[in-house]
Amino acid sequence: MGKILLLILLVLAILVAVVLLKAVMLKPTAAQTAKVKLDDSERAAEYGKMLSRLVQKETVSSRFEPDRTKFLEFHEILEEMFPNVHRVCEKHVFNGSLLFKWSGKGNHEPILLMSHHDVVEANGIWEHEPFSGDIDEQGNVWGRGTVDTKASLFCFLRAAEELIAEGFTPECDVYLASSCTEEWSGEGAPLTVQYLKEQGVKLALLLDEGGMIIEEPIAGVKGTYGMVGVLEKGYGDVKFTAKGKGGHASAPTKNTPLVRLGKFMTAVEKKSPFTNKFNPTVLEMFQRTAPNMNFGMKVIFANMWLFKPLLTKLLPSISSAAGAMLHTTLAFTMAKGADGLNVLPQEAYVTGNMRFIPHQGTDESIALITEFAKKFDIETEVIYKDYPCPVVDYQSDAFKLIEEVAAEVYPGVGICPYVMTGGTDAKYYKDLSDNCLRFAPLYINGQQYESIHGLNENISQGALPMGVDFYKKVIRKS
């Protein structure tokens, strides 16, 4: 018995030694100490003023407002700001959404650069008025749309403007697109795609909004990284309805519609019916960031062969953002019961917003939650659904081009593939390209990241020159 115990202890000691050794062997990469130095030149100041003007034009979009006048007025500003693009490129307008074709030499397949020019509402109290375009003493441009996504739109249009001024002709056709309906998944991008399909266009690369360049992209990871979205989850809106007999609130019965909905929502949060799974994109993301993790995290992520089953269960409870990369999510968003304060509803409902992971796609996830809801005598109705996008290979030439250009513009910054948990217009282009990448090549800090769709959205004008240079290099190398 003593020999067996000794053998067990020896095996455990060897296991611990191997685990620690693998962590120790992970040496920090250049990304750990890489810093993005904001440009403080006159060029940055000029770009900041131009972006400020774009922000000052309010372009809030809504599925309930068909009038496109404000977007056409925004186009007029673009025409004044980018005369070379409008002179050289073929321009198309699809009910307020833009597409430019810059004809190249035809030596390579076309590329498409895109960012939307519509924005979400700007409610609440801001430090600077949301459509002021104020530029503060630190050179930050304030306003709704600075990050999402007028800055990247400005950068690729400016890149084309300057290259045309230099007399440059691209090797391939370069398309520049900007929808005015992205924020509500409207018809702008689909109409653009329909036109490109009719023209028989196939794209070597599409680059849309998505990840950006940010410090500590994951809690516990030191360093600066460019996060490139290669996987976009599917999207769904679902309505869950519970029915009952109703009645007067003075004599309530048990398990009324609202109570059953409450039990259902609580049960979903306690034990979700969706399966957690590490997909190749998430594994690669952690592999690239592991060398710059704190030691405790490094021990775990350097030994995924041992800890992956445990992490699969625990990660969603540790980080909701990381967990969303492992499974289909369901967020309850709206609710309605009775119309009177003293009335038991005959019918009540809640809505849920779903984001579908590829390993448990749209139809399977909806079927699972439908069965789950039946346990509480709740009916499920699908309001809208679409499907996860094809995953872009992070070893593809298109992804390597982004890595190469990023290394030139942002020396030392790490580049990581990751799962887009939000939605983009790129999802409509999957039939036109195998390489729909989601990445806006602009540096933002933590506050600026948190300001997206929130209060006090702003971006540093010193980040704009690097964005312009990035797009220039992509165009030159395509």
For residue 8, the model assigns a pLDDT of 77
Residue 422: pLDDT band (50, 70, 90) is: confident
For residue 317, the model assigns a pLDDT of 82
State yes or no: pLDDT of 373 exceeds 70. Answer: yes
Residue 248: pLDDT band (50, 70, 90) is: confident
State yes or no: pLDDT of 2 exceeds 90. Answer: no
State yes or no: pLDDT of 7 exceeds 80. Answer: no
Chain segment 298-343, per-residue pLDDT in tens: 999 999 999 999 999 888 888 888 889 999 999 999 999 999 999 9
Which one has a higher pLDDT value, 261 or 16?
261
Average pLDDT rounded to a whole number, residues 143-166: 98
Average pLDDT rounded to a whole number, residues 414-419: 96
Average pLDDT rounded to a whole number, residues 156-175: 98
For residue 322, the model assigns a pLDDT of 87
Question: All domains of the chain, ordered by start, with CATH?
Answer: 42-218+391-407+415-477 (3.40.630.10), 234-385 (3.30.70.360)
Least confident of 36-40, 214-218, 315-319, 350-354: 315-319
State yes or no: pLDDT of 466 exceeds 90. Answer: yes
Q: Does the pTM of the predicted model rise above 0.85?
A: yes
Chain segment 124-133, per-residue pLDDT in tens: 999 999 999 9
Average pLDDT value over all residues in the chain: 95
For residue 162, the model assigns a pLDDT of 98
State yes or no: pLDDT of 396 exceeds 70. Answer: yes
State yes or no: pLDDT of 433 exceeds 80. Answer: yes
Map the chain to HEC letters.
Answer: CHHHHHHHHHHHHHHHHHHHHHHHCCCCCHHHCCCCCCCCCHHHHHHHHHHHHHHHCCCECCCCCCCCHHHHHHHHHHHHHCHHHHHHCEEEEECCEEEEEECCCCCCCCEEEECCCCECCCCCCCCCCCCCCCECCCCEEECCCHHHHHHHHHHHHHHHHHHHHCCCCCCCCEEEEECCCHHHCCCHHHHHHHHHHHCCCCCCEEEEEEEEEEECCCCCECCEEEEEEEEECEEEEEEEEEECCCEECCCCCCCCHHHHHHHHHHHHHHCCCCCCCCCHHHHHHHHHHHHHECHHHHHHHCCHHHHHHHHHHHHHHHCHHHHCCCCCEEEEEEEECCCCCCEECCEEEEEEEEEECHHHCHHHHHHHHHHHHHCCCEEEEEEEECCCCCCCCCCCHHHHHHHHHHHHHCCCCEEEEEEECCCCHHHHHCCCCCCEEEEEEEECCHHHHHCCCCCCCEEEHHHHHHHHHHHHHHHHHC
Average pLDDT rounded to a whole number, residues 382-395: 95
